[in-house]
Every structure is written in C-alpha cells, then in structure tokens.
Structure 1
C-alpha cells in the first residue's frame, strides 16, 4: 500500500509539474500575443493596424503634422461658435467683429488648456476638448427669454445703444455674457463634484454595450446635421474633400511614397525608402488639396464675391481684412466683461446641460479607447476625465466661453488616420494655444473654406455611427430583447429632439425652470438614447452572456499591461504606497478597491 501510495503521489507530482509547465507556457504565449496585439492590432473597433497606439511617441515633426491634422478637424466649431454666441448675446453690429475676435481667442485658449489637462491628467486618452453643444442649448433658451431676449429693432429701441435713446437701459451684451458666465461656473462645480465624488465609477458598473452603443451611435447621427450645414454651402468642394479623404485613407493606405534616406554610420550610404503618407495624413492631404482648389477658384472669380451668397464661404480671401487688422500677439484675459452674475433658471439649465455633456463624454471615452488600442476605461479614469472637463468648464466660465466636452469628430479622425498617440493630442493642445495667442495664425487658418470641413465631417460622422454599432458585437444580436433595446433607444434619441424642434413651445408646465429642464433633456439625443438603453438593459430580464457583459468585462483580461495607460504621468510609486489613496475616486488604486 505504501509503495502504491508513493507511486500515486509521484505520478501526481509529475502531472502537477506538467500542468504548471503548460500553464506557464500559456501565460508566456498570452503575454507575447498581447504585446503583439498592442503594437500591431487591437481587439477594438477601429483599433486594428494602428500606426501609433496610445502610449507610442512619434517623432516631433510627425506629432506636429498629426496635431495640425487634428486641429483642422475641430477648428470649424471654434470658428462657428463665436458668431453664434455674438448673435445670442445681441452684440451691436459696430462692435460685433471685435467681440467675435475676443470670443474666438477665449474659446481656443480654453480648448487648448482643457485638451492638455484631459490627455495628461484626466482620462489620459488621446481626446480633444471643444465647445459643448449640450451647453449651448440651455444657454440659447435662457437668452431667448425676458429680460435677456434681444429687442425687436422695429418695435423696440436698441437696448445696447444708449446714445440716441432718452432712456438708459441696463441690459447690454456684456450683461448677457456675464449671466451665462455665472451659470457656467456653477455648472462646472457641479460637474467636478460628479467626478471627484466617484459617482461616475458607480454608474459604469451597470453600463454595458447596450448603453454605450446607442449613445455613440447618436453622437455620430448628431454630427451629420452640422456637417450638412457646411456641405450645402458648396456641394462640389465638400464632395471633393470627402472623396479625397476616402481615397487616401482606404484605397491608398498601403501605398508607400518613396523618399531618399541617408545614413552616416557605420558607413555613408543613401537608399530609397518608403512611407505610408496617405495612411498617416489623409485628412491633412485632402484639406490642403481642397484648399488649393478653392484658392484657384477664388482668384479666377468662379466663386461669387457677394457675402449674401452662400458660396461666398468657399472663398479663401473672405477674411482678408480680418487677417490684416488682427494683431500678431493678443492674450485673452479672464472676466473681461466684468464679474459674473448668477440666477436660478440659468444655473438649472446649464447643470442639466452638464449632465448631457457628461453622458456624451462617457460614450466618447469608450469610443476613443476602442480606436486607440487602449483597454476599456476604468472607473478612476472616468472620474478624472469628468473632473478635468469640469475644471476646464470652470476656466471657460472665467474667460467668457461656453463649457467644453470631448469631441467626437477628432475620435473619428483617429479611426481614419490610425494614429492614436496621446503625445499627438498634447501637441495639438500646443497648436491650439498658439492659435489663441498668435492672432495672425488663427486668422489665416480661419480662412479655411467651411465646405472642406463639411466633407471631412461627412466621413467622420459615418465612422462614429459605425463604431457605436460595432459595440453590439459583444452582445447576442439574435436576441429579440437586445434588438428591442437598441432599436427603441436609437429611434427615441432621434424622434424626441426632432419633435421638439418642430413644435417649439410645446412644453408648458407653468414653470420656466421646469420647461427649460425638460426641453434641454428631451432635445439631447445622446442623453435620451443612453438613458433608455441603460434603464432597459438593467431592468429587462436577460443573462450576462446575452447582454454581452461577459465579453465586455473580459476584453482586457489578457491586456493588463495596457491598464498602465490610465496611470498618472508621475508619482505612481508613492500613490501605490499610500493605502489611503484606494479611497480616492480619482486615484488609479481606486480600481483595486472596487475589485
């Protein structure tokens, strides 16, 4: 018996040794496969064949060109919003050009600072911060009511002109700006509280593909009306821009452009090398070529010189006078229009807009991580991201700009160019700062014809929709339950805002604040789709496998090295050494507490 027992134990030890060896070999194989995955292929939509992933650092000159490419993608919004805001604030015609220039510099400066903070200390994803459209809706509603409503020049005297009036009115455009500034400051503090308190990390425990998918899809669908406003200015130029972007990014992405390469060591030698220029710079190349075509059509007077003609926006010289008059260096200052004012109605409206902006940003975080080769954002990264956006909104309130949010168009640009490096976005923030301070540079870039941007956004909005739908691959889409949830969420996010836009003033609760809150919520399609998807997915019975949660949670199980992408840029050894940091929602160690 003793001999038999010893033989059994010996055989068992051998099996255990073999089992350990197989396990070790499997672990090593997974590490090698994961490293290869990081460098060459991502298990995320849009992340395959990345030229540069999130932690890669391209050469400085490449970063400069990639950053310029990203800047051109989002510059149209920074250019359009000052004009929209000037009309919203009822700025007199004789002061409008100056105020627009001041608003433009303030907006670009906040976008610069917000982008750097987000990519360096926030989520640390390659994501750009721009003006939040979700905050413009409540701001415009506030400015359309008394006493802020612009006067009718035919029936009322000009409230901004006290020279030719016998009565001195108190409401001026600076008063309107200060009212929105005050509401923005309070809403920013509310958004920072959402991030620093850890509420968002609690919410994402219940977030799955059927919440993120509809949200991202509606972000893409929200972009197409904006792009259409640029496209219809001149369909020919817009189609040219779209076609060139498509050709460069899809048909010519594997074509290498030859260039000479010389080395001095170990021996002087010159050879002919090749680079995938079309795959790396599809947007930049299409913009430059389209810009050249517009310049030729401008100097040959093919485009009309009448400012009332929509095709005038396709001219490259339409801002020639502004370029000449704008100073070389001009730094915007905080509280230029005076100390902010605060009212309950404005604060409630912009706080609701902040919630919509947060939901939109969360969808953008998932989309950006997916296409840049990073793992699903952990709770602490989401908390930091929302906190940094709130802090940038706080700065926006000080400088007289609307709050910022993550920009979907730039995420789509990453999917086109396959460049998801964090360093590129940091360079983009430096370029934004230069355009905010160096007035001449910003004015020259402002001469970019808007139909060109419309063509680029044509491609970008389609990519965002596709990325949103691709999240459903984790779920069982043969399930009637999942089809129902996704379909109802998306259609509701389209239908309700469309109905409210076609029936203005339909909401009448008897309370201005309540009307404003409901209108803001129901006009934000991304918020509606995300909330409906979230509620139905967490209340309608379904298995974890059916809902896609098993695959969703295990996407990054074999890619734990990439979780370091969300660590703070410095001081991580001390953060991990302090036990109390596990209770801080914005610390990387907070995720371990959740596990």
Structure 2
C-alpha cells in the first residue's frame, strides 16, 4: 500500500517546519524509486509476483539519527534537516552494502537451508500476524468508517460469490476496489455533514478525509536526483545500527517470499533464489540512500495477501503495476490522492490481507506430524515468544525503563531485532528445530524435512526453471545452486 512509502516523514519534518517544500520532496522521494526495486525483483531477484515497499523496521535507527547530539549545534532548522538527511543517506548506503554482501555472496542462502516446514510455519505465519497492530487497533481509531470497510470487503470477497457462482474470481479481484471506494465515499459524506465538527482532534485526523494534508503539499511534478541533499555523511555507529533493520527486513522478506510462492502455485523458493532476492533488496536500499529516501526496503506483505485474494499470481501484473507506480511517483498529486485514504479504511484492508499471509504459514503444517510432542512444543513456544518478546521491547521502546536511561548503539540494535515478531518467532523455531528434531530419521520426518530437502537445491526440481529462471538466458552466466 502507498501508506508504507510515507513512514518516517513526520519526524523529519519537525526539523524543517518552515521548509515544508523540502519536507514534501522528501515524502515524495520515499516512494519514488520503489517501482525500480519492484522491477529488479521481478526480473532479476526472486522473480516472484511481489512489490517492494518501505520497511517500518528502519524507523528506530532513523529516529536515533534525527535525535543525534551532533545535529543539535545547528540553529537553522533547514540546515539541520539537510545535515540529518545526509547522515541518513550515508547510513542507508552502509546498510545496503551489508545486505548485498549477505545476499550475493550466498550467506543468506546457507542460512535458509537450515529451515524445515516446522520452522517455516511460525516464520511465515508471523510475517502476517506480526503486523496485527496495523489492523484493528488502527481501524478502531474511527470505527464508523473502518468497520463498514471490513464488513464490505469480507462480504464482497467471501459471501457475494455464493449468489454469483460464476463470478467468484471477479468478486475477489475487485473486492478492495469496491469496498474502499464505497467506504471512502461514506467517509467523505460524514466529513461534509460536519459530523466530526465538535469531535476531538485525534478523531478528526483519523476520520475526516480532508486532514491528511498530502494533496495540498505534494508538488504536481517532481523528479528527484542523486544526492539531492548533498554528499552523504558516513558515521560508523549509524551504519552499524542501520544494519539491524536491514537484517530484520531480510527475515520479513524471506517469509513474504515463501507466502508468495505458496499462493502463486510455485515450488518452495530455493535458498539460492531467496539469497538472490535479498541481494537485490540491498540494491534497492542503495538506491534509496543515493536518492534521498529515509527508509530501506522490504517485500510487501499486503501485496501477497492481495495475491491470495485475487488469485492472480502473474509477475507480468506486477511489472505493469510498476508502470503505474512510475506515473504516481512523478505526478505526485495523483499519488497523494490515493495515499490520502483515511487510515482506518487502510486498516480494514490490512485485516483481510494479513490474515491470508498468516494462513499461508499455517498451510505448512500439513507436512509436519502434529501428534509429536516436540512439534507441539516448538510450535507453541515459538508462537508465544513471537508475541511476548516483541511486546516487551515495544513497551521498553515507548516508555518504562528506556525513558529513564540513555540509549546507545547496542540498545537500538537489540530493540530493532527483538521488536520484530517475524524475526523472534523464526529464530526461536529454528533453534529448537536444529537442536531437537534432527537426531534421527523419525524426527526428521516429523518436521517434514524428508519432503523439504529436495527443494534445498535449485537443480533438484526441474520445475524451478519455470518459476525462478533469470530472463535473457542469464541463468547460464549466473547459475543458481
């Protein structure tokens, strides 16, 4: 969704309150080059039908850079803003080289080969489930708009086909378009009838359709250029901290790759292909750093949910959508129009799409022996810790112990990693998978490893070429293993 492209902007714009022109250019730059990263993934990365968007994992390091003491000496807000942007650019470039190294050198491939269907279950499930805070909690900020949105979407996609038996795929493909349009129009009517006139400010911001401020501040046409804020400044501490969200985005993107392959009727993604995709995500982060964005990249979870809802798993569709992304990024007024959809309506869509991604992870249970107590323990413990540990670190970050103690490089790294539900659940499941379930053939069969191992190498399944082979016969120059 377009909303992901605007994360981090409010915090940055506080340093240039009187220079909103540059702030909105920064906002535009965030989503400007996602189309290029999407095309890279479609042609040279995993070749799965996925969209590349901004990652929320980068918010904490970006906030730390904004609040760094070395920028407090600048009295001019605009100069501080520019210096901060240059620092963020340098940190992103450093993180990009880290991500490219892990991906293109095959380090991530070697790590992914340790997975089994049992460890993939919480891994992929929490790729969707871990974003629960973007679902109903955000929807509930304006129930009168969000609740009709989710009801309409579920009705059109799930119940309406019962009365239109020959139109099942049609209902799924257009359920978001119809439900969002109707709910958005309803929100506009509520705004026009002054229902929210005497409501609290937070309610008006969430419910009204004229409070986003994106359309009025977005330029009609704007083309960013490399290093628009000046030459990047490099700080070793910032670069190291920025590697933490790059590491987290690798985990989250890998879970998204597995879900996309599942719903795209492809074979399980070979580790070498996942590593290749991770490397191209790093190239996208490098572009972000050079072109003035404030976040790195990750594979879009909501897009995989949309793939399941519409049952359209064609990479050609993604490539065409990248063309629309080009148009909306250059003609920013049009992009801002769609990005100004009230957040509760977006949250209603998330509730449905994220549930599809979560169920993709649960589908791997069919390869596991659920009568095994080891299997039950690993699943239950990884699910519980995947919810509990990030909740603690979220409370730590937003207050409590952290508010009374100074934070540093190590603290930010730990918080970024352990606030990710996907990362925690995957690491816990993988640890117990490796230590408890690889001792004999019976244990390996219980976790589905006998079936899974044949997908560990690219050449072990002839169907892999159909889904993951590089175009233009590049497979001969860059063979997957």
Q: TM above 0.5, one fold?
A: yes
Deviations 1:226-245 (A, max 9, x none): 23453122112111111111
Give the 3-state SS of the residue equivalent to 2:265 in structure 1: coil
Tell me how far 1:127 sits from its aligned partner. Answer: 0.7
Question: Are 2:2 and 1:106 equivalent residues in the alignment?
Answer: no
Contact 1:222 1:525 in 2 (8 A): yes
For residues 426-482 of structure 1, the C-alpha deviation after alignment (integer angstroms, 9 at most, x for no partner) is: 122111111110022112213322211111111122222222222222111111111
Contact 1:509 1:515 in 2 (8 A): no
Aligned pair 1:522/2:418, yes or no?
yes
Give 1:313's aligned residue.
206
C-alpha contact (below 8 Å) 1:131/1:403 kept by paired residues = yes
Q: In the aligned structure 1, how far is the partner of 2:58 from the partner of 2:466?
A: 33
Equivalence for 2:279: 387
Q: Please name the residue that 1:223 is paired with.
A: 131
Contact kept? 1:218, 1:526, Cα under 8 Å: yes
SS of corresponding position for 2:416: helix
Partner of residue 243, structure 2: 351
2:9 to 85, 89, 99: 85
Equivalents in 2 of 1:160, 1:337: separation in Å?
15
1:94 aligns with 2:11: no
Distance 2:342 2:405 in 1: 44
SS at structure 2 position matched to 1:253? helix
**Does the Cα contact within 8 Å between 2:13 and 2:23 map onto a contact in 1?**
no
Q: Which residue of 2 aligns with 1:123?
A: 46
Does 2:103 align with 1:206?
no
Describe how 1:20-99 pairs up with structure 2 within 5 A: 74-79=1-6, 81=7, 84-88=8-12, 90-95=14-19, 97-99=20-22
CA displacement, residues 539-582 of structure 1 (integer Å, 9 cap, x when unaligned): 1144221111123345899974353210112125xx44xxxx4x
Aligned 1:366-381 pairs, distance under 5 A = 366-381=258-273
Change (3 A) 1:375 1:301: same
Q: Partner residue of 1:538?
A: 434
Q: Aligned to 2:141, what secondary structure does the other structure show?
A: coil
Which has the larger share of helix? 2
Distance 1:548 1:569 in 2: 32
What secondary structure is seen at the aligned counterpart in 2 of 1:147?
helix
Q: CA 1:500–1:562 in structure 2 vs 1: closer, same or farther (change >3 Å)?
A: closer
Conserved 8 A contact 1:241-1:455: yes
| Equivalent in the alignment of 1:160 | 76
2:189 to 285, 290, 296: 296
Mark the CA change 1:415 to 1:236 in structure 2 (over 3 Å): closer, same or farther: same
What is the aligned counterpart of 2:102 among 174, 194, 204?
194
Report the alpha carbon displacement of residue 148 of structure 1 after superposing the two structures with TM.
4.5
Aligned to 2:229, what secondary structure does the other structure show?
coil
SS in 2 for 1:430: helix
Cα distance, 1:307–1:131 mapped onto 2, change above 3 Å: farther
SS of the residue 1:364 aligns to: helix
1:177 aligns with 2:100: no
Match of 1:567 among 450, 469, 473: 469
Q: Give the alignment of 1:550-565 within 5 angstroms.
A: 550-553=450-453, 560-561=462-463, 563-565=465-467
Alignment partner for residue 289 of structure 2, among 389, 397, 405?
397
Compute the displacement of 1:256 (Å): 4.5
Rounded Cα–Cα distance in structure 2 between residues aligned with 1:324 and 1:496 = 41
Give the greater-gyration-radius structure (CA): 1
Which residue number corresponds to residue 254 of structure 2? 362
SS for the counterpart of 1:130 is strand
Residue aligning to 1:233: 141
Aligned residue in 1 for 2:57: 134
Does the CA contact (< 8 Å) of 1:184 and 1:403 recur in 2? yes
With normalisation by structure 1, the TM-score equals 0.73
Quick check: 1:304–1:312 contact (8 Å CA) kept in 2?
no
Helix, strand or coil for the counterpart of 1:124?
Answer: coil
1:410 Cα offset (Å):
1.2
1:19-39: per-residue Cα shift (whole Å, max 9, x none)?
Answer: xxxxxxxxxxxxxxxxxxxxx
Whether the 8 Å contact between 1:303 and 1:312 is mirrored in structure 2 is no
Please list, as runs of the form range in 1=range in 2, the aligned pairs for 1:410-421 lying within 5 A after superposition: 410-421=303-314
- Select 1:424's aligned residue among 317, 324, 342: 317
Give the CA deviation at 1:195: 1.1
Q: Does 1:451 align with 2:375?
A: no
Contact 2:49 2:260 in 1 (8 A): yes
Q: What is the alpha-carbon distance in structure 2 between the residues aligned to residue 181 and residue 474 of structure 1?
A: 44
Q: Which has the larger displacement, 188-197 or 205-214?
A: 205-214
Q: Secondary structure at the residue paired with 1:454?
A: helix
- Aligned position for 2:480: 590
Q: Quick check: 1:549 aligned with 2:465? A: no
Using the size of structure 2 for normalisation, the TM-score is: 0.90
Distance 2:251 2:32 in 1: 24
Supply the distance in 1 between the matched residues of 2:62 and 2:244 (Cα, whole angstroms).
Answer: 11
* Alpha carbons of structure 1 residues 418 and 161: separation in structure 2 relative to 1, 3 Å: closer
What does residue 287 of structure 1 align with? Answer: 180
* In 2, Cα distance between equivalents of 1:414 and 1:490: 25
Distance across 2 between alignment mates of 1:469 and 1:120: 29
Task: Indicate whether 1:248 and 2:156 are aligned.
Answer: yes
- Give the one of 148, 167, 171 matched to 1:278: 171
Alpha carbons 2:454, 2:461 under 8 Å: kept:
no
CA 286–544 in structure 1, closer or farther in 2 if over 3 Å, else same: same
